[in-house]
């Protein structure tokens, strides 16, 4: 690994940590600003799932749906998150799997702790990011969240935005 690789890994890790902070702090506008105009957010319903067009998903949003989801939070009518759940994410194992010069394919593990009136929940996931540099900064062109415990009953997961 050379110095350029180390610097890129650091930049990617900082981007992913910033995204997690925005989510944990309910900074929805800042989180939304991390996306490219053609971004896709996908959370498969069962296991890794192969094709979101053919299989059930918890979330499968294009960029306009991501924006709508954020606007819904601002209405104050997302009762599943009233009051908002305190959250903390721990991100680890950040790896750059591919770099074609235009996009990066990155994976990371995450643990999300949610404190909710119904009880505390710990969610584990493997996240896959497609990151693209636009205007000199990294942005998300895609994010896939594969929940480790998605075979169980899934209560409101509005904290996933």
* pLDDT tens digits, one per residue of 97-130: 999 999 999 999 999 998 877 788 888 999 999 9
Q: Is 48 helix (H, G, I), strand (E, B) or coil?
A: coil
Rounded Cα gap, residues 10 and 2, in angstroms: 13
Mean pLDDT of 119-145: 94
Under the banding of pLDDT at 50, 70 and 90, the label for residue 155 is low
Q: For 107, what's the count of Cα atoms within 13 Å in the CB-facing half-sphere?
A: 7
Rounded to whole angstroms, how far apart are CA atoms 35 and 64? Answer: 11
What is the architecture, at CATH level 2, of domain 3-147? Roll (3.10)
Name the residue ranges covered by the structural domains of the chain.
3-147
Characterize the bridge pairing of strands 57-61 and 87-99: unpaired
């Amino acid at each position: 690994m050379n110095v350029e690789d180390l610097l890129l890994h650091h930049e990617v890790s900082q981007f992913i940590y910033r995204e997690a902070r925005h989510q944990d702090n309910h900074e929805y506008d800042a989180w939304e600003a991390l996306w490219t105009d053609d971004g896709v957010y996908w959370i498969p319903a069962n296991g890794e799932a192969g094709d979101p067009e053919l299989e059930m998903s918890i979330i499968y949003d294009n960029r306009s749906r991501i924006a709508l989801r954020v606007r819904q939070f601002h209405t104050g009518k997302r009762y599943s998150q009233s009051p908002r759940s305190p959250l903390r994410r721990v991100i680890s194992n950040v790896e750059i799997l591919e770099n074609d010069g235009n996009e990066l394919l990155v994976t990371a593990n995450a643990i999300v702790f949610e404190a909710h009136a119904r009880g505390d929940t710990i969610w584990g996931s493997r996240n896959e990011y497609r990151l693209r540099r636009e205007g000199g900064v990294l942005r998300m062109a895609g994010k896939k969240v594969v929940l480790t415990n998605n075979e169980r009953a899934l209560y409101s997961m509005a904290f996933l935005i």
